[in-house]
Amino acid sequence: MAPKDETRSELDERSGVSRRFFLKTVGAGGVAASVIDGLQEALPHAQEAGTAAAPAAIGPGPVPITLNVNGQRLSLKVEPRTTLLDALRNHAGQTGNKRVCDRGSCGACTMIIDGRTRYACSTLAIEAQGHDIRSIEGLAKGTVLHPVQQAFAEADGMMCGFCTPGFVMSAVALLEKNPHPTVEEAKRALDGNICRCGTYVRVLEAALKTKGVARG
């Protein structure tokens, strides 16, 4: 069986050095990168010969990419198979958006790309280059919450909180386009997000009570 992907280890969070601490301090840095670079050397290149007319293929080893995340340029080195979500969580220390189903089903990874909500778990990082990416980290200004975040806090729109970043991003995308949605419009805009605790009523309340959302 093929080896499972790198972030299966996300499940493994025990005492001592936490996975997040480890990834944040080491994973994005030199150690992991140099090991992977070594592996890339060993990969056979024969299958990449292709036909003479074919444009060049990149990978499968890590390749340099540049992402525009929350208005900042982010230079990373990731494999073509790395998703936008994993690139930000595991290679850039931005763990705000969550990896839950990893299949484009739950919405916890929802980011806004070029003004529209997208599942970051089902978007290749390499394909997110050249686009305007906004994640949950980009909303608060210092200690001042974004109006949608503030509304979620006031409406108590969360229980365990794992789905919250995705819901907030979906609500932001909705309200930037349609500042006064009807209940039906809000429900439809939040269709792509799931809360297993079931706090949908409060999430909807938060989305509807938010005032003064403008792209800023």
Contacting positions for other proteins (CB under 8 A):
1-2, 5, 47-48, 50-51, 53-61, 79-81, 83, 102-105, 107, 110, 113, 116-119, 122-124, 126-127, 170, 188-189, 191-192, 194
CA proximity to 175, closest of 142, 199, 139:
139
Q: Which of 181, 172, 157 is nearest to 213 (CA)?
A: 172
Shorter beta-carbon distance to other proteins: residue 16 or 55 = 55
Question: How far is Cα 145 from Cα 164, in angstroms, rounded to an integer?
Answer: 14
- Least Cβ distance, residue 151 to other proteins (angstroms): 20
| C-beta closer to other proteins: residue 68 or 153 | 68
Q: What is the nearest approach in angstroms of other proteins to the Cβ of residue 144?
A: 28
Taking the complex as a whole, how short is the minimal distance between the CB of residue 55 and other proteins, in angstroms? Answer: 5
Task: Report the nearest approach of other proteins to the CB of residue 101 (Å).
Answer: 10
From CA 167, how far away is CA 24, in angstroms rounded?
A: 25
- Taking the least distance from each CB to other proteins, the nearer of 35 and 53 is 53
* Helix axis angle, 147-155 to 200-209, nearest 10°: 140
In the complex with other proteins, the residue whose CB is nearer, 190 or 208, is 190
Task: Classify residue 131 as exposed, middle or buried by CB count within 10 Å of its CB (0-12, 13-18, 19+).
Answer: middle
Q: Which two tokens stand for residue 87?
A: 């690139």
Handedness of CA 186, 201, 94, 90 (dihedral sign): negative
- Min dist. Cβ of residue 127 to other proteins (A): 7
